[in-house]
Amino acid sequence: MGWVKRLKDGIQTATRNKKEAPEGIWYKCERCRETSTTKELRENFYKCPKCNYHVRIGSHEYFDLLFDGNYDLLFEELRSTDVLQFTDLKPYPDRLKEAYKKNIVTDAITVAKGKVNRRSLLVAAMDFRFIGGSMGSVVGERIARAIEYGIANRIPLLIISRSGGARMMEAAYSLMQLPKTCGRLTQMARAKVPFFSLMTDPTTGGVTASFAMLGDINMAEPEALIGFAGPRVIKETIKRDLPEGFQTSEFLLEHGFVDTIVDRKDLRETLSDLLFLFEESKLAAIGKGEGSAEMEPAEEEFPGEEEG
């Protein structure tokens, strides 16, 4: 006999009332298994306070971390549809309903416009909790519209990727989001509006093979899984174990595909710096050559030299 008598048998909480981490009071780290409070976690930029593991957070957490204050959501009216009447073990509409029921996001990417250190930025952030962050028509369309919006209003764009790849339930429609988003990105490049890509854990498949790799600046969160094929598929193909650290952010940086790895606590500042450095007035000044604003103070710094 135990010391405590259970009054009711079994778990009483219905599945739908279960809280998704990190919304409870405690957070148990997926990597180091240490426990901290969710308040500590949030104050530590959703990184494990013990081991710096970057927790897989959603679109809105990123908006909260990045923007100065309020932000506007864009293109929320776009919703996924079951264009192929796709049924595997479960009909696609059921999968969509389940994803909506979580009541977190309206698709695997959410677009928001706000300010980072007083400079405008569009952020399109993926959310893994919506069908594995998979890219279907809505993801492609929201990105395409975000690019159009960025071009029209001359606002830089940050896409935060966190995706297993294509949404198989939309088959070739999903595949066509690759040329669609890349085509739009060429227009953004021509318009000289900067595009920043941040790859987070995980970024694989069609997302990596399109916009995620095409940033003017490619950034990655530490230790994220980034690749084209998934590790399991590669292992089955080459029939041997994969080396340690294979397909991590650090691996990609060493092989030349990522510009910089950014700890989540520095993300806001890094973006703020990038927006400062890419600011159009500054770029225009460079174009003017000698008469640029940046050259003048340099001359004034040594006023006495000519006389001496």
Partner 1 sequence: MVFLEFEKPLEVLYEQLEKLKEIGGDGEIDVTETIRNLENKIKNKRKEIYSNLTGWQKVQLSRHPERPYTLFYISQMCKKFIELHGDRCVRDDKAIVGGLASLDGQTVMIIGHQKGINTKMRQYRNFGMANPEGYRKALRLMKMAERFGIPVITLIDTPGAYPGLEAEERGQAEAIARNLFEMAQLRVPIICVIVGEGASGGAIGIGLGDRVYMLENTWYSVISPESCSSILWRSWDYKEQAAEALQLTADQMLGHGLIDGIIKEPVGGAHSYPEEMAKILKRHIKKALSEIMDMDPDVRIDVRIEKYAQMGAYNLAKEEPVKEKKKTEK
Query: Which of the residues 88 through 107 are near partner 1 (CB under 8 A)?
Result: 88-89, 106
Does residue 144 contact residue 152 with C-beta atoms inside 8 Å? no
Helix axes 59-66, 267-277, angle to 10 degrees: 60
4 to 7, 8, 11: CA distances (angstroms): 9, 12, 16
Query: For the residues of 2-31, what is the DSSP string, one character each?
Result: -SS--SS-S--S-GGGPPPTTSSSEEE-TT
Which helix (H) or strand (E) segment is 185 a member of? Answer: helix 177-190
Query: Which of the residues 198 through 237 are near partner 1 (CB under 8 A)?
Result: 205-206, 208-214, 227-229, 233-234, 237
Binding segment for partner 1 (CB under 8 A), chosen from 24-32, 119-127, 140-148, 263-271, is: 140-148
Among residues 222 and 231, whose Cβ is nearest to partner 1?
A: 231
Among residues 84 and 295, whose Cβ is nearest to partner 1?
A: 84
Query: Which of the residues 243 through 302 are near partner 1 (CB under 8 A)?
Result: 243, 246-247, 255-257
Which of residues 21, 40, 49, 86 is near partner 1 by CB under 8 A? Answer: 86
Q: Is 172 in the site for partner 1 (CB under 8 A)?
A: yes
Binding segment for partner 1 (CB under 8 A), chosen from 6-14, 56-64, 123-131, 297-305, is: 56-64
Taking every pair of Cα atoms in the chain, the longest distance, rounded to a whole number of angstroms, is: 96
Among residues 256 and 303, whose Cβ is nearest to partner 1?
A: 256
Cβ neighbours for 248, distance < 8 A, ≥ 6 positions apart:
223, 224, 225, 226
Among residues 77 and 307, whose Cβ is nearest to partner 1?
A: 77
